[in-house]
A = this chain, B = another copy of it.
Amino acid sequence: MANSKYEYVKNFERENHLLPSCYILIRVDGRGFHKFSAHYEFAKPNDAAALQVMNQAAEQMMRQFPDISVCYGDSDEYSFLLRRNCELFERRESKLTSTFASTFSALYQFYWREVIPEKPLTVERLPTFDARCVVYPNAEIVRDYFRWRQVDCHINNLYNTTFWYLVLHGGMTTKEAENRLIGTLASDKHEILFSQFQLNYNNEPEAYKKGTTICREYSVVDAIEGGMMKMELSERQKQREEKKRKKAKVVVHHTDIINDKFWNERPWLLQ
């Protein structure tokens, strides 16, 4: 509204407009969640209620930002994929990272109070998240990104499961458990769980082993008719397509996204 001789200070602002026609991936990551989870006494290796809070926050993100086509999360992180031609905030990096970090944090706090009312949050230990944008030029690399995160989830969850069984049921200190696992392969950890604790890791909940994938679902026919799979749309087609996106069902999966099956069945996700 106003003008003053001090307004020249605006000339120092810089915007980074992310490269057009590329996928934008925004990853939010819990800040200091090691201490946070200790402070609020998370169950180990996985706290079902805390994961529910994460997943509800992510699902609500999908509703509030129709440009997200799919997201994947585990532990204290979530990765959101924006569709290739998305123009949200004119693709300005700071606006995207700060808004996603802010909104996810707000939703997490909101759902925490709903899901875990017995653990009131204190002002010194509020849940907060940082965020970063990464730009990917093509669909194959985007698939590899999600494969990377799911492999990571798998490795971490197997480690954590074994570690905490050794500590909680095997009588080891955390230091001893750590040393016990140095140099062990996946097969060794399976063996420890099975022989020592009669736990078949393969029977652990899919949500823990595979993390959570949330996407918009259409029938392929609908996706084609809706224009989800075309690069170039007229203005009117764009509006119709956006409407369709906003009204699409948002569905939660705990499934393999390393193989092609998941992606091939939903070609609109990487359009």
Is chain A's interface secondary structure helix, strand, loop, or mixed overall?
helix
Give residues of chain A (121-175) contacting chain B, Cβ–Cβ below 8 Å.
Answer: 121, 123-124, 126-138, 141, 144-145, 147-148, 151-152, 155-156, 159
Q: Across the interface, which residues of B come within 8 angstroms of A128, CB to CB? A: 99, 102-103, 106
Add 20 more A-B contacts to A4-B152, A99-B101 (CB < 8 A). Answer: A2-B152, A4-B155, A6-B147, A9-B145, A12-B20, A16-B16, A19-B19, A21-B141, A31-B102, A98-B100, A98-B101, A98-B129, A98-B130, A101-B102, A102-B104, A105-B106, A106-B106, A106-B109, A106-B128, A110-B121
Instruction: Pick from B103, B136, B148: contact of A7, CB below 8 A.
Output: B148
- Would you give the shortest CB distance from A222 to chain B, in whole angstroms? 26
Asked if A13 is an interface residue, CB under 8 A from chain B, the answer is yes
Is A86 interfacial (CB 8 A cutoff)?
no
Of A89-97, A194-202, A244-252, the segment with at least 4 beta carbons within 8 Å of chain B is: A89-97
Q: How far is the CB of A120 from chain B (nearest CB, A)?
A: 10
Q: How many copies does the complex hold?
A: 4
Question: Known contacts A11-B20, A121-B110, A137-B19; is A98 also within 8 Å of B132 by CB?
Answer: yes
Complex CA–CA separation, A41 to B97 (angstroms): 29
A31 CB contact (under 8 Å) in B12, B17, B99: B99
Contact residue among B97, B138, B144 (Cβ-Cβ distance under 8 Å from A98): B97
